[in-house]
Structure 1
Amino acid sequence: MAYATVSRILEQLASISKQVKQQGEKLAVGVDKEVEMLRAKLGAIQAVLLDAEQRRWKDEAVSVWLGELKDTCYDLEDVLDEWKTALLKLQIEGDQENVHVPKKVPFFPFTCFNYKRVDLPHQIALKIKDITRNLVVIAEREVCFRLQFLTSEISETVSSIEVSDIYGRDIEKNAIVEEKNAIVLRKLLEGGEQVRNLHIISIVGMGGTGKTFLARSAYNDCQIGKNFDAKIWVDVSNDFDMLAVGKTIVQTIKGSAPEVVELDSLLNMIRENIVGKKFLLVLDDVWTEDYSNWDPFYHCLKNGLHGSKILITTRRETVARMMDSTDTITINELDNEECWELFRKIAFSGRTREESENLEEIGRKIAGKCKGLPLAVRNIGGILRFKKHREEWLRILDSELWELTEFNILPSLLLSYNDMPSTIKQCFSYCAIFPEDYRIDKEQLIKLWMAQGFLGLENNMEMERVGEEYFNDLVERSILLVNTSSYCMHDLVHDLACFIRKKELLILEVNALENPSINLSLYHLTLILGVGASFPPSKFSSMKSLRSLLILYGVTNYQSMNEIMPRLFGELTRLRALDVSGKIWYENMVLDIPKEIGKLIYLRYLNLSLLKIKELPKELCELYNLQTLELRGCADLKSLPQGMGKLINLRHLVNEGTSLTYMPTGIERLTCLRTLSEFVVSGDDNGDKACTLESLANMTHLRGSLRIKMLGNWIEVNVAKKAELRNKDLLFLNLNFEKDAEEERANLDREGNRMDKDELVLDVLQPPLSLERLERLHSTEVMCSPIGLCH
């Protein structure tokens, strides 16, 4: 991970130097020298980082040394970002006030950062000098560890293989799995006449034995769908959060989030909604042995129809007894032959008979080290599946990590992590920002990786593709598990990610009247807000190093939210990713995004989805590094700021579900856009503020879905020709023609036939050849086609 960080900084240094030259400037006196010294020192340290990362597990001093290097590198990234943003400001705004200043020592107007004509290059030189001094000290300490120079990464990514190639083969199917799966299904489907109360079934086994896999297989079985009126899946984990469990049950049954936050109200809703229903409730990964947490649910769930079932998975038999399980299915570890058979199916997939025979002896020894845990077998098998040489297998077999027990992490997972390239290590460990059992959205995760700089520089046109490859690599290694339309991590894998990021990342649940003790030097923070908790706790604004702030869900009162946000945005100026979206309940409160958001100059990812906001401040347009702006479901938002054209690095503008009436002028400058959910073409009311459909011509990288909403007497046909949709990689196109009644009458001829320009416009727009679905809406009329009709 440190290797990837240093590589990223060296790449950024080269990019900035190139950008300076392209803008006709020279590196200021002092900066040039400090940059070259910095490059040399980073290069020398980078040469031994691969060895250091392998030794960190068994040498605490090396681990501490890597931590100090990481902190210094983060400081350096901030300095380089400050420099790069100033250059972007010059490029975007074309400020001519300083043309008389000699180019040898350029001055940068820095008003958006609250400076008054500061000699930025001189400041950058001083900061780089301080950081280089720190790196010299770090490099001197490196000698004590006798780190060796390694020429290359341990392994390459395995993402050249399609995910379906692995998961389409059911490689985990074996006799023991099929037998246990049949037992679970039989217990769930049997009549249960002998059970007087709720029929509760428990799957018990140690971590990594496949309890959740069995429960999920049964839950998704077609026979289960036919046998029950309702199916409910709840991820419970260590803390049996009664409110969270209750909300999940209600939301699954009703199909919408409950509007109550009190436990008694939730229990009443559960009781009312299961009456007359035969249901299956799965409680996955239950730890608590406190009956008082379970008792209220048990009494209201008894109101379900006879034959309803509850299936729990747990590591503890005492939990199964506490919950009055009628049947307990114990999952033991695989025996040696079962373990080998599963390992062989994964690690030897696609090999010739000769290759398999040559590696079988080593493979059996490696399988024996997995202690019968399917999770361990999957991970090791996933590593070795792509290793061709006997020496690589021997290196895994002889690794010292098998003997490591003090971290309470499966050795096989450490080996799997150690085998990853540094670029993927940082992506994997960042997944610790999500809570255990969180349903991970692939697109969101890739955007967050981009925001942290894990996928290359901002001007890399293929960042999303790189992110897709890294994501598939983690799936193929069984690090990320496929769960219908989303992904998740096994709790033991999540523990590993948290262990790696333990000193820089925190997931914190905050409740009312709670004053949590936190490390103010954290880099990444996820908040889960409990009932009555303030948003956010005031001390969070003192976390000056914070790079990620995600508020995933929770319930709270937000009376002071508008008062706190200006301070929050004004202080957390190092943020790269900020999610304050409405997954939390805002009690119908209208929110104001403060102008202080313009101080978040490093911000790449901003999620404001589902918020009740009526407008965005013009200062948002000073976030020149912004790559993703999520506004999904902001139903009260009617316009975007006029300065949107300055966000030239924006790649994803997700604005579906808003009430926009036009797109602001200048938006045609957003030539990096990959995602644009909706493009609104207005009538004449917005005058010079609105752009035309022609603005789409410059957005050559648009892909996926696009909705074009056309309001009123909106356009001339010859303008539609200039949109150049044909050159875009769109799969779904929605054309929405909206007209008022008066205009509808005006577009009818004497016989009452429609004679408007819609048909002509549809022809000249020329949807792209990649289109899979075309949808046209006109007033109440809807036309759909699986393929574009207008080629």
Structure 2
Amino acid sequence: MADALVSVVLERLSSIVSEKVGQKVRLFVGVKNEVEKLTSSFRAIQAVFADAEERQLKDQFVKHWLDQLKDVSYDMDDVLDEWDTAIAKLQSKNTRKVCSFMIFSCFHFREVGLRHRVAYKIKELNERIDGIVVEKNRFHFKLLEAGIKQLEHHETASVIDVKEVKGREKDKVRVIKTLLSESSQGPALRTISLVGMGGIGKTTLAKLVFNDHVVKTHFNRRIWVCVSDPFDETRIAKEILEAHMRSTQNLKKLETLLEKIQQSFREKKFLLVLDDVWNEDATKWEQLRNSLKCGLPGSRILVTTRNRNVAKCMGSSPTDILELGLLPPEECWSLFSEFSYFEKTDREFDNLEDIGRQIAVKCEGLPLAAKTLGSLLRFKRSKAEWESVLHSHVWEIKEAESNLLAPLWLSYHDLPSEVRRCFSYCAVFPKDFTFYRGDLIKLWMAQGFLRETQNKEMEVMGRECFEALAARSFFQDFKKEEGDDSIYACKMHDMVHDFAQFLTKNESFNVEIDGAAESKIDSFSRDARHSMVVLRKYKTYSFPETIHSLKKLRSLIVDGYPSSMNATLPNLIANLSCLRTLRLSRCGIEEVPSNIGKLIHLRHVDLSGNLIRELPEEMCELYNMLTLDVSDCEKLERLPDNMEKLVKLRHLSVGRLFVKMRGVEGLSSLRELDEFHVSGSGEVSNFGDLRNLNHLQGSLKIRWLGDVKDPDEVKKALLKSKEHLTCLRLWFESRIDKGTIHDDEVLEALEPPPNLEFLEIRYYRGIDPVFSSCINKLRVVELSEWGKIENLPPLGKLPSLEELTISWMECVKKMGDEFLGLEVDREDDEDSEISIGEMTSPSPSNIITAFPKLKGLTISDMRKWEEWEGGEGGRWRRGNEDKTNISISIIMPSLRSLLILKCPKLKALPDYVLQSTTIEKLLIKSSSILEEQFKAGGEGWPNDSHIPSITII
């Protein structure tokens, strides 16, 4: 990570010596020489990085030297950030139409003080770097050409997530046999333990067993809990219960939880998996185990652990401790080759097979090593690149527990520097933490890991870094989006997490508060830069005062409910002046202190889920702010008045509660705005405030409670110029008063974005909704709670529509041709209809298709809906006697799923649904008339007997 830090510092040093603004705000002449000297020293160090980083694995003195270098680089970055921020603020002020003389005069006095402060700090840092350079020369590092690795973008869909467990079939059979075996001797509740070294595949095998069909059938209940360290009986008890209860929020005492477990599991045959157990204190496990004895005989506990002593403490008999061995050579080769030869040709395979087999041997039967190295070599196609991995000196390094360091190091070192920094940052989170892609990217941005270029935004760079780490097997347990199969969440293997912590020792730490907070935190370095403090949500602990002494912290992430946060927050902010990330979600905060405005480096602020009534105006002085999250703050009524000063803000989240906004029109850098709340004409915020936000991406919800009196004001939103918006939610919550324009006029004036794919319209009270012709890319539409409309709009004309949901249309009694979008295309004279047998094939121009791509249709809570018209599946028509104007209507030719929920008056489904050959799923719930028709033997049954899945509830 040090090389990436040095690169950032060099980049900033090169710009600081140049003139920044018209006022020639520069460093003193002598300091310019100091900066040039610093630049020279950093470049000399950069030249020996490749050798130094490899040698640190074997030489603790070299590792200590690199740690010193990181400290200096961090401090240098803070100094330069202070300077850049002051200059940028001056530029921002000079762009406003105020007295420039007063601005310059005011800044001049501050600037002199700033220049003195920066000059002093740079001189001090130069003295420190001199010592580091002298020490560097003693190590006699080699000058190695490491080169600058470029980040290559690989599609997420190409990430390999192997479901099969190579070489574990016999182990799987053995574990299942042990779990299911009954014995007349021994305890009724047996504990089976899988024991093996890190990276050998214990958790993977346990998952395979947990999801086996025979196991699912045998046990009434199956529960999976990741234990890790420390062993927290209360947390484990809560997670056991939460597997079968909606909420355990009010259950805080262990005794109460154990009583609930007994009630829930009494007379049930269950399987409880406790993954990654480290506890060697049998007394901590005893109470929980006793509460589980209420289950039926044959209930089992399956434990995974690296330590045989842990298995004994958990109550496993010698015969119930199953040692997991290394993969056989051929199975290890099979797993390695599945990753390394993915997307390679047969010729490339033949050329590289011999080297690949030698590398697979070096994995020594460890699945994680084979997967990691295979993922590394997947992107290398030359023999020289493969031989470089085979003959690396890293293989000479032996770690105490396993040989995983070498494969992980090789894969890590092959990453570009920006990806390495992103990976290393993950060490701040605890084991088994779920990483959400969007959240992680914002945290990387706040630390300056992602540098925006002319052609690539930070968010795009962050997504590519995330995908690169997933493709190299640094992430696992992927959760993917349904639409595009992209990864939105993942976890990290314990051994990979250990490796990340090895890389960031003394730099990052996470700590769980369990009553001994101060002593735990005292063990960490005073120079720590990133910290996560976990306070279990069901326990009440004070926020540890020791954190205040970690004055160099750049990240403070708090998870839990500290009892003293309101009292300690002002002092905490006063001490941690280097913070770039402050994440205090759901910490019971009632007031944000005004001194937060002095945290000039702050870029990421998450105050979501707190009890804040207002934000201090001083927050608008946080010029570098990139992300502000105040979602789910139930008492928050408005944002500060001077929000437009946050010119760099890219992500603003206000959540579901209505918040008055002022100054949003000045936030032209915004990429994400989850909700925009319109207060009405002449109030705090209006549609026109959106006009400059042309960088908005993804999803936007617009809600308005106030009056809208001018269609031109609505048009000022200029949604049509926001080409990166793909999802739009419109909530018509305004009251209709005299002089207020109607919802029809608002909808028509909005002019939707050109690349819209998802549209939701809720609480619409218009009569005749107008759908713009610009929305031909719409794939998903949701319409809900339209109070006055009797006829649905012609949605059948939307050419790309795939999913449609209609609900709570209280005035709709009938759906027919107007819904299909066919009434204007058909002749009113019914005599013009002719049968298919009378006609020859029509020309393509005369074929009319309604809902051509619709796959899923859900209609719910339509209490007055009685008729769904639609005679024959297709109808030929003619417009005159010589039969020249003939057309056929094709309706929903791609429909796969139809859900009818809570429509009690609906009499029948139309013919084009009943005769459909594409429907795979039909669900009818709380719709009494239809239920009778579609029960087996009912009048609807012959028509729908070809549908594979019919569910009547």
TM-score, with length taken from structure 2: 0.73
- In 2, the alpha carbon distance for the partners of 1:513 and 1:196 equals 36
Question: Superposed, which structure 2 residues align to 1:296-375 within 5 Å?
Answer: 296-304=287-295, 309-325=300-316, 329-375=322-368
RCO greater where, 1 or 2, for CA within 8 Å and sep 6 or more?
1
1:287 aligns with 2:278: yes
Residue 65 of structure 2 corresponds to: 65
Within a 5 Å distance, the mapping from 1:568-579 to structure 2 comes to 568-579=572-583
Distance 1:606 1:304, change over 3 A: farther
Q: Which amino acid aligns with 1:160?
A: H
Cα pair 2:476 2:492 within 8 Å, conserved: yes
**Range with bigger deviation, 425-434 or 453-462:** 453-462
For 2:920, the equivalent position in structure 1 comes to: none
**Distance apart, 1:72 and its partner CA:** 0.9
Residue 458 and residue 390 in structure 1: after superposition, are their counterparts in 2 closer, same or farther (change >3 A)?
closer
**1:539 and 2:539 matched:** no
CA RMSD of aligned residues (A): 3.3
The offset of 1:710, in angstroms, is: 0.8
**Percent identity over the alignment?**
40
The answer to whether the Cα contact below 8 Å between 2:54 and 2:394 also exists between their aligned partners in 1 is: no
SS in 2 for 1:525: strand
- Pairwise CA distance, 1:49: 1.9
Q: Which amino acid aligns with 1:68?
A: Q
Paired position in structure 1 for 2:438: 443
Closer, same or farther in 2 for the Cα pair 1:739/1:101, shift >3 Å?
closer
Q: How far apart in 1 are the matches of 2:455 and 2:15?
A: 11
Q: Distance in 1 between matches of 2:597 and 2:215?
A: 52
Task: Find 2:528's aligned residue among 518, 522, 528.
Answer: 522
| 2:611 paired residue number | 612
Query: Are residues 1:264 and 2:255 paired?
Result: yes
| Distance (whole Å) between structure 1 residues aligned to residue 116 and residue 602 of structure 2 | 24
Hey, what's the Cα distance between the residues in 1 that align with 2:624 and 2:454?
A: 11
Could you say if the C-alpha distance between residues 182 and 260 of structure 1 is closer, same or farther in structure 2, counting changes exceeding 3 Å?
same
**Is this contact kept in 2: 1:650–1:670, CA < 8 A?**
yes
Partner of 2:757: 772
CA distance in 2, matches of 1:163, 1:156: 18
- Do structure 1's residue 482 and structure 2's residue 481 form an aligned pair? no
| Alpha-carbon distance change, 788 to 696 in structure 1, aligned in 2, over 3 angstroms | farther
Question: Could you list the runs of 5+ residues in structure 2 that have no partner in the other structure?
Answer: 480-487, 766-783, 787-794, 796-800, 806-820, 822-953
Q: Which residue of 2 aligns with 1:598?
A: 597
CA distance in 2, matches of 1:322, 1:133: 54
Pick closer, same or farther for the CA change 1:406–1:182 going to 2, 3 Å. closer
**Which residue of the partner structure matches residue 139 of structure 1?**
133
Residue 756 of structure 1: how far off its partner (Å): 5.8
Contact conserved, 1:12 with 1:457, CA < 8 A, in 2? no
- Give the distance between the partners of 1:189 and 1:165, measured in 2 at CA: 38
TM-score (norm 1): 0.87
Corresponding letter in the other structure for 1:256: S
**Structure 1: gaps (5+ residues):** 111-115, 748-754
1:422 to 403, 408, 417: 417
Question: Cα gap change, 1:304/1:58 in structure 2, threshold over 3 Å: closer, same or farther?
Answer: same
**Distance in 2 (alpha carbons) for counterparts of 1:118 and 1:97:** 22
CA contact (8 A) 1:704 1:729 kept: yes
How big is each residue's C-alpha offset from its partner over 1:615-644, in whole Å with a ceiling of 9 and x where there is no partner?
111111111111111222112111111111
Distance 1:102 1:17 in 2: 23
* 1:233 aligns to 2:230 (yes or no): no
Partner of 1:752 in structure 2?
Answer: none
CA distance in 2, matches of 1:697, 1:199: 66
Letter in 2 for 1:580: L
Larger radius of gyration: 2
Task: Kindly indicate whether the alpha-carbon contact (under 8 Å) linking 1:546 and 1:575 is maintained by their aligned counterparts in 2.
Answer: yes
The one-letter code of the counterpart of 1:547 is: R
Asked if 1 retains the 8 angstrom alpha-carbon contact of 2:252 and 2:539, the reply is no
1:750 equivalent in structure 2: none
| Number of the residue aligned with 1:691 | 685
Q: Are the aligned partners of 1:107 and 1:118 in contact in 2 as well (CA < 8 Å)?
A: no
**Which residue does 1:11 correspond to in 2?**
11
2:634 match? 635
What is the Cα deviation at residue 677 of structure 1? Answer: 0.9
Within 1, Cα distance between the matches of 2:465 and 2:183?
47
| Cα distance between partner residues in 2 of 1:734 and 1:786 | 17
CA distance in 1, matches of 2:137, 2:209: 56
Distance 1:260 1:391 in 2: 60
| Residue pair 1:285, 1:313 contacting (<8 A) in 2 also | yes
The alpha-carbon distance between structure 1 residues 599 and 259, as it changes in their structure 2 partners (threshold 3 A), is farther
Q: Per the alignment, do residues 303 and 713 of structure 1 end up closer, same or farther by CA in structure 2, a change over 3 Å counting? A: farther
Indicate conservation of the 8 Å contact 2:21/2:91, yes or no: no
Give the AA of the match of 2:290. Answer: H
Residue 509 of structure 1: how far off its partner (Å): 2.4
Equivalences for 1:159-170 in 2 at 5 Å? 159-167=152-160, 170=162
Q: Is the Cα–Cα contact under 8 Å of residues 85 and 601 in structure 1 kept in the other structure?
A: yes
Q: Compared with structure 1, are the counterparts of its residues 224 and 707 closer, same or farther at alpha carbon in structure 2 (3 Å cutoff)?
A: farther
Instruction: Give 1:575 shift.
Output: 0.6
Equivalent position of 1:493 in the other structure? 496
Please state how far the C-alpha of 1:434 moved relative to its aligned partner.
Answer: 0.4
Name the residue aligned to 1:551: 558
Question: How far does residue 42 in structure 1 lie from its aligned partner after superposition?
Answer: 2.1
Contact (CA 8 Å) 1:739, 1:779: kept in 2 or not?
Answer: no
**Deviation, structure 1 residue 16:** 5.0
Instruction: For 1:83-232, list aligned pairs within 5 A.
Output: 83-94=83-94, 108=107, 118-153=112-147, 156-157=150-151, 159-167=152-160, 170=162, 173-174=165-166, 176-181=167-172, 197-198=188-189, 200-219=191-210, 231-232=222-223
Partner residue of 1:663 out of 637, 654, 661: 661
Aligned-partner Cα distance in 2 for 1:719–1:221: 60
The alignment status of 1:719 with 2:726, answered yes or no, reads no
Deviations along 1:749-776, one digit per CA (max 9) or x if unpaired, are: xxxxxx9621222222222243232111
- Tell me the CA shift for residue 308 of structure 1: 5.2
Instruction: State the Cα distance separating 1:77 from its structure 2 match.
Output: 0.7
Shift of 1:459: 9.2
1:465 alignment partner, one of 445, 460, 466: 460
Alpha-carbon distance in 1 for matches of 2:50, 2:439: 29
In structure 2, the CA distance between the partners of 1:663 and 1:279, relative to structure 1 (3 Å rule), is farther
Report SS of the residue matched to 1:633: coil
Query: d(CA) in 1 for partners of 2:217 and 2:92?
Result: 60
Corresponding position: 1:566 with 2:570 = yes
Q: What is the DSSP-based 3-state SS (H/G/I as helix, E as strand, rest coil) of the residue aligned with 2:620?
A: helix
Cα pair distance change 1:93/1:379, threshold 3 Å: same
Cα-to-partner distance string for 1:363-414 (whole Å, 9 max, x where unaligned):
2222111111101111111112222222222222222222212565622222
Q: Give the Å deviation of 1:497.
A: 0.8
Alignment partners' CA distance in 2, 1:252 and 1:45: 53
Q: CA deviation at 1:220?
A: 5.0
- Residue 513 of structure 2 corresponds to which residue in structure 1? 510
Q: Distance in 1 between matches of 2:645 and 2:804?
A: 33
**Counterpart residue identity of residue 54, structure 2:** Q
Alignment correspondent of 1:703: 697
The secondary structure found in structure 1 opposite 2:633 is coil
Give the distance between the partners of 2:747 and 2:206, measured in 1 at CA: 50
Measured at CA, do residues 86 and 390 of structure 1 come closer, stay the same or move farther in structure 2, by a change above 3 Å? same
Give the secondary structure class of the aligned counterpart of 1:260: coil
Structure 1 residue 229: deviation in Å?
6.2
How many residue pairs match? The answer is 756
Which is worse superposed, 755-764 or 669-678?
755-764
CA contact (8 A) 1:535 1:564 kept: no
